[in-house]
Structure 1
């Protein structure tokens, strides 16, 4: 897939932390061990779970929200606990597709350079 890191404007959404930021970990398929995820430069990645719900305009019905996981390119620091409303810094979205044992999966992944408290 050629399109990656497409800028995403999330200003029209309320984003509430449902799982505090933590180091992103992945199981090594060869060894079975869980290892930290790094980018190509070796920088540790983090992950946060957010409940995203579109902000309703006056007279509009508030649509149902959805939980998303966002990869953070840096440690967001202190003060981002469960229940905190945040905004994403330089959010992007990328489509992905995988095939394992003849089964295909696809979706989108979210990435941001950090978090800031919502105004």
Structure 2
């Protein structure tokens, strides 16, 4: 199952690292390349602290399919935000040491300021 819709309306989402273009290391590990979708459009990533009332917070990284600053919004450390079209996808793979790594990846169509 991929791209499972997720409802985060009961959570405060606070920017801990401003959105940046998503990159990954090249196969030789010497440089970074921009990560794009299937159509070649650049993806972005933002780090958020998600916290529900009375619970301990959790930092999550969210891949964004659009440039969050394209509408002129500025997302600085501490900004309260809302995810547009948020989804999660489970993953599992073997790393270079043969260990199985599993988890969920957050993705959203965009980001908008709250208030």
TM, length-normalised to structure 2:
0.92
Which ranges of structure 1 fall in alignment gaps of 5 or more residues? Answer: 57-61
Work out the CA distance in 1 between the residues paired with 2:35 and 2:81: 23
Residues 1:80 and 2:75 aligned together: yes
Q: State whether structure 2 residue 60 is matched by structure 1 residue 68.
A: yes
Equivalent residue for 1:90? 85
* Structure 2: gaps of 5 or more residues: none
* Partner of residue 48, structure 1: 46
Q: Distance in 2 between matches of 1:114 and 1:31?
A: 30
Distance 1:38 1:72 in 2: 11
TM-score (norm 1): 0.89
Structure showing greater Rg? 1
